[in-house]
Structure 1
C-alpha cells in the first residue's frame, strides 16, 4: 500500500484537515504499518487492529492533550502513538524499539500514565476529572475500557465512583466480545443483550449505576465513531459510550484466532503462522500430565483456575480433557485466590495459575484469605524472573511479596522432574498453601538423585569447601557454571539447590561454617526482601561472608537482559571476581 496520508499526519490536529474518506484510507495505512512491525517484533496484534477507527475519531473530535484519553492496559495504544508524533517507530525499522508497547508519559504529552495492567482506566480518569473540577479547569476526560477489563474488580469500583461525579467523564467501553481469551462472567450476558438490542435492553448495568449511556454498533467505522464522539463531547455528566468492535479487524488470521493474536510472537504476515516453534516437551505439558492423572484417579477433586490467561500455561488442553475441572474467572486475580480459598476449605483442591506480574494484584487475598486461614491451595507461577524492557510487566518481585506472607510455602524447582514431584506433593499435602515458581531460564530435565524426595529438603549438588553457592530455581545452571569457574581458580566450591524460598536447613547452614568462608546466593528476582537477604540475616552474627546476587529494587525500562545481567553481575566470571575479592 502507498502510505500517502500517514506522511501528512505528524500531530493530532493534522487529522482535522482530512475528509472522512481520507480518514478511512488512513486507517488502512495504519493497519499496514501495525502488521508490518508486529509481524517482525511481536506485540499486541488484535487489540490494536480493533481500535484504529476509535483512535482516529477521538483525535479528530477532541483536542489532545487538553482533552485527555486514558487507555486501559494501554496495550491498544499503537495507533494513538502513530498519530501523536511517534510514527517513525513504525515507519523506520531501525526505530522499532524507540517507543514502548504501552503509554509512556516520558515519550509524549499525549500519554498520561505508564500503564500495563488491566481495569485501571476508569479510576485514573475519575481522579483526573476530580482534579480538573477542583482546579476549575476544563477539558474532556475519556477512559477506554476493553479486552475484558470490565471483569476486573477495579473497573467496577471505578464505575461505581464515576457515577458520583456531577461533571464530564466519558467511559468508552470497547466491546469486542473478548478478553485475552473468551469473556467470562454474568455481566457479559448483559453486554450481549445490549448489542442484540442496539443498546435498548431492559437491563442495563451502566444506567443501573446511575450513568448515562449510548451505544454504537459500527465501532470500526470512522464516520460512526466521529458522530458518536461529537455527541458526547463536553457532556456534563458521566456517560458510558458502549461501542461494538472486532478484535483483529482487517487481518483475517487475527479475526479467526482472537486469543492467539491478542499478543503474538513474530509471525509470517501472509499466513499468520508463528515464526517461533516450540521444542516439544515443556513445563506446561508436565503440569497438565500430573493434573490429568490426578483427576482420573478421582482421589482429588481438582479445580484448575486461570484469570484470563489460559494460553500462558497451555490450559486449553486441560479444558478439553476435563472441562468440568477447569474455570476461567476472567481478569479477576483477587477473586481467583479467594475463590480458591473457598474451594480448599470445602475439600476441593484448587490449582491456580498466575503470572508473577499479575498475581501481585491479589496480594491481600494471598495474605488474608489463604495465609491467615492456612488453606491448602496450590498456585503455579510463571514469569518469575528478572525482567527488562518494560516497567509494567516485571517478574522480579514475587519472591519478596510471597515470602513475606506467613504459612505460604514457596517452592523453587529446577527441572521438569522437580516440577512434577513438587506439584504432586503440593496436591497431596493438606496443611498449607503452596506456590510453585516455574523455572524461566530454559527447559531442564535432570533426574532426581535421592531415593526419597521431599521438596523442603535441600540438595547438595556438589560437595566442596571454602565457598558455598546456593542457587535457586532457574538459576541452578548459573550456579553450576559459577562453580566450574571457581574451579579454574583452584576452589572446589559447594553447590546447593535449596528447592524452596521459604524453608531453611539450619543444620546444613551451620555445618557450612566449619569449612566455608563465603556463601553465595543466586536468585532470579529482586534482592530487597528476597531469598538472599534471609541467608544474610541468618549468618548476621557470624564470621561468614555472604554475597547476594539478584536484581536491584527498581522498575527496569529499556535494558536488555544482557545489560541487566552485566549490571547485576549475574555472570559466572563476574560472580567469581566478587568471590575472590571476598576471600582476599
Structure 2
C-alpha cells in the first residue's frame, strides 16, 4: 500500500487472538507498527491523536493477556481507542474514522463486540465495569472485567462514586489508571517495575492474606498497628494509600511503555484471584513515539489532517473569527470594566476560549477539572456573594450538571451565566457530542433567560447582556466554527431582555429563527422572492422569555409561520407553539411548521450536510414554506441546496 508504513507484524494480526502467541520482542515491534498506523490514519482523517499514541503498549498488553471480547475491556471517554480498533478487526476501516458512515471516533457497542460499552463522555468506565462485574457474579460466570480510566477522568466525582461502591463489594473488578498528566506517581523505572510485579504476584498476595488472617487473631491494638504498618509500607513504596482506603488492592506505578513490565503484571493480576477490586497504576506519556505530539500534547489531543513528516496541521485560513474566539473577546471586554466577572470551565480552557481570558485575568479564571456538576455549583456560590460567574462548558457536557442548574442555580434565582459552546451539530465527533438538547432542558426552567446569537456581532451584545443581567440565571448557546464575518464592536451593548427583531419585511409567510439559522432563513427568503414570494424573516434572539409582541405581529400579518432551530424536538419550536396556543393565535387559522433536528441520535458527518438532512438549510426551509402554503403561491419549488 503506497504511502503507508511497513507493518510486517501487524499484517499478521487481525483480532486479539492473533497476538496472544507473540513473544515480547514481537509485541514490541507490533507496538511500533500500530503507532505508525495510528499516526498515518489520523493524518488522513483527523481525530484524537495524542491519547491513542500514549496507550499503544497498554492496549497490546491488555489484549495479549486478557481473553477479549469474553473478558470485558472498557475504555473511558474513548479518545484513546484507535489502537484498540486496529487490533480488533477494524484496521481495514481505520481510515474511515469520524467520516460519514465510517468508524466512530469513540467506542460504540453497535460497531464491535470488542466495544462492550459505548463512550464519548468522561468518567463512566468504573461504574459500567462494576455493573458488568456484578452481573457476572449474579450469573455465576468467571470472566474478567477491566476498566481503563485516565487521570484526567479521575478528576470527576462519578469516578470516585464508582470506586467507593466498588470498594464496598466483593466483586472482582480490575481498574487500569492511565496516568499521563497528573504526576501523582514517583519516578518509574526498573525498581518500580520490579515492585509492581512483586505486589501483583500470587506469593505476595498469599503472604499478605495469610498475615491478615494471623493479625485478625491478635488483640485489637496489635491488629490495628499491624494493619497500619502494612498500609504505610505499601503507601510509602507505591503511593497507593488513597486507593487502598477506598477498598482497592493497589499495584503500581508501572512504566506504561515497557511491555516487559506491563505483561507480567497484568498476567499476575489476571491469575491472582483476589476478591474485590484491583487498581493497576500505569504511567504513560501522551503522544508517545511521535515527537510533535509529545512536545505539544494539548495541540495534538484532537487534530485535523496533518503532515506526518513535519507534524504541520492542515488548517485552512479562517474567513471569520470563531464563536469561541468571540466569546473570549467579549468576556475579556466585560471583565475589563467589571472586576466581578469571573470565568469557569471544566477541563476545557482552550476549547472554550477561557485560556485567553485566563492569560489576561489569571486570578479570575478557574479550571475545575472534569467536574461539570461542581463547576455549576461553584459558580452558584460565587454568584451568591455578588460575583458574575460565566460558566463555559460544551452544550453536550452541560447535560452532566443538570440537577445543579435546577437546584443550585434556577431554584435559588442566582445570576449564574451558562455559556454553552458547540451548540447544534458538531460534525465528526458524532452523537455523543452534538449540542442537541440544551434548548429543551433549559427552556422548561422557570425564570431562565436563554439567548442565541445569529452572528458574532450579536454574540458580543449577548455577552454584554449577560454581564448586565443580575435578576436571575441566563444561558447563551453558540455553535462550533466560524462566524459570518460581520464587524465586531470593541465591547457589546446590552440588549433588552426578551426582545426579538424583524430582519426582513415581507408578507404571506414569516420565518422565525433562533441562533445561526437566521442566515439560511435569509437565503431561503431571497430564493423564494425570485419566485414571487417574499417572506418576512425574524430573529428571535431570545428563546426565553419569548417576544410575545413579535409573535402576535407575525401571526396577525401572515398566513403561515415556519420556526427554525438547530436543536432537538421539544425546544424552541415547541415553546413557540405552546405560546401561540396560549395566546389563541392558532385558532385564527395560522399555519405553523417547526424545523429542528430529527428525533434520533445523529452520527458523525459534515455539519452542512447534517443541516440539509434535517431540512433546515436554505433549500429545506424554502421547500417547507411552499409545502405549508399548499400551492397557494404560484411559484416553482426551489431545488434543495
Distance in 1, Cα, partners of 2:188 & 2:445: 44
Q: Is 1:231 matched up with 2:268?
A: yes
CA contact (8 A) 1:70 1:121 kept: yes
State the distance in 1 between where 2:395 and 2:123 align: 18
Q: How much has 1:581 moved relative to structure 2?
A: 2.5
Q: Which runs of 5+ in 2 are unaligned?
A: 197-233, 631-641
For the Cα contact (< 8 Å) 1:340–1:350, is it kept in 2? yes
Residue 577 (1) aligns with residue 623 (2): yes
- 1:128-182 per-residue CA deviation (whole Å, 9 max, x = no partner) reads 00000011011110000015010111111111111122132100000001xxxxx
**Residue in structure 2 matched with residue 46 of structure 1 by the alignment:** 50
Q: For 1:488 and 1:17, how far apart are their aligned partners in 2?
A: 70
Separation in structure 2 between the aligned mates of residue 386 and residue 31 of structure 1, nearest angstrom: 31
2:439 to 399, 405, 408: 399
Alpha-carbon separation, structure 1, partners of 2:463 and 2:99: 44
> Which residue in 1 is equivalent to 2:306?
267
Single out whichever of 96-105 and 46-55 deviates more from structure 2.
96-105
Q: Verify the 8 A CA contact 2:45 2:96 in the aligned structure 1.
A: no
Q: Give the aligned partner of residue 399 of structure 2.
A: 360
2:578 aligned partner: 537
2:599 is aligned, of 531, 540, 553, to 553
Report which stretch shifted further, 532-541 or 274-283: 274-283
Whole-angstrom distance in 2 between the partners of 1:302 and 1:482 = 40
Q: Cα gap change, 1:505/1:295 in structure 2, threshold over 3 Å: closer, same or farther?
A: closer
DSSP 3-state at the match of 1:87: helix
1:214 alignment partner in structure 2: 251
Q: What is residue 79 of structure 1 aligned with on the other side?
A: 83
CA distance in 1, matches of 2:545, 2:97: 49
CA contact under 8 A between 2:99 and 2:605: conserved in structure 1? no
The counterpart of 2:526, out of the listed 478, 484, 488, is 484
Instruction: Label 1:447 to 1:510 Cα distance change in 2 as closer, same or farther (>3 A).
Output: farther
Match of 1:102 in 2: 106
Rg larger in 1 or in 2? 2
Match of 2:551 among 509, 512, 515: 509
| Mapped pair 1:316 → 2:358 | no
Q: How many Å apart are 1:228 and its aligned residue? A: 1.2
Match of 1:140 among 125, 141, 144: 144
Alpha-carbon distance change, 97 to 518 in structure 1, aligned in 2, over 3 angstroms: closer
CA distance in 2, matches of 1:302, 1:452: 15
Structure 1 106/295 Cα, relative in aligned 2: closer, same or farther at 3 Å? closer
User: For 2:493 and 2:299, how far apart are their aligned partners in 1?
Assistant: 42
Q: In structure 2, what is the Cα distance between the partners aligned to 1:421 and 1:559?
A: 31
Q: Aligned partners of 1:562, 1:444: CA distance in 2, in Å? A: 15
Shift of 1:195: 6.7
Structure 1 residue 240: Cα displacement: 0.5
Deviations 1:256-307 (A, max 9, x none): 111111111212222222211452633334333333343333x332221110
Aligned length: 571
How is 1:27-38 mapped onto 2 (pairs within 5 angstroms)?
27-38=31-42
Residues 542-563 of structure 1 show CA distances to partners (whole Å, capped at 9, x for unaligned) of 2111111111121112554455
Deviations 1:26-56 (A, max 9, x none): 1000011100011121111111001111111
Alpha-carbon offset, residue 105 of structure 1: 2.0
After superposition, the Cα gap between the structure-2 partners of 1:304 and 1:8, relative to the gap in structure 1 and judged at 3 Å, is same
2:540 maps to 498
Tell me how far 1:369 sits from its aligned partner.
Answer: 0.8
RMSD of aligned residue pairs (Cα, Å):
2.5
Give the distance between the partners of 2:494 and 2:415, measured in 1 at CA: 23
Alignment of 1:102-501 (within 5 A): 102-177=106-181, 191-192=184-185, 198=192, 200-202=234-236, 204-234=241-271, 235-236=273-274, 237-279=276-318, 281-297=321-337, 299-387=338-426, 390-440=430-480, 442-446=482-486, 453-501=495-543
Question: TM-score normalized by structure 1?
Answer: 0.92
1:510 to partner: Cα distance: 1.7
Note if contact 1:414-1:439 (Cα within 8 Å) is conserved in structure 2.
no
Q: Residue 578 of structure 1: CA displacement?
A: 2.5
- CA deviation after TM superposition for structure 1 residue 453, in Å: 4.1
Q: Structure 2: how far apart are the matches of 1:448 and 1:293?
A: 12
User: What are the superposed Cα offsets for residues 468-495 of structure 1, whole Å, 9 maximum, x if unpaired?
Assistant: 1101111110110111122123222111
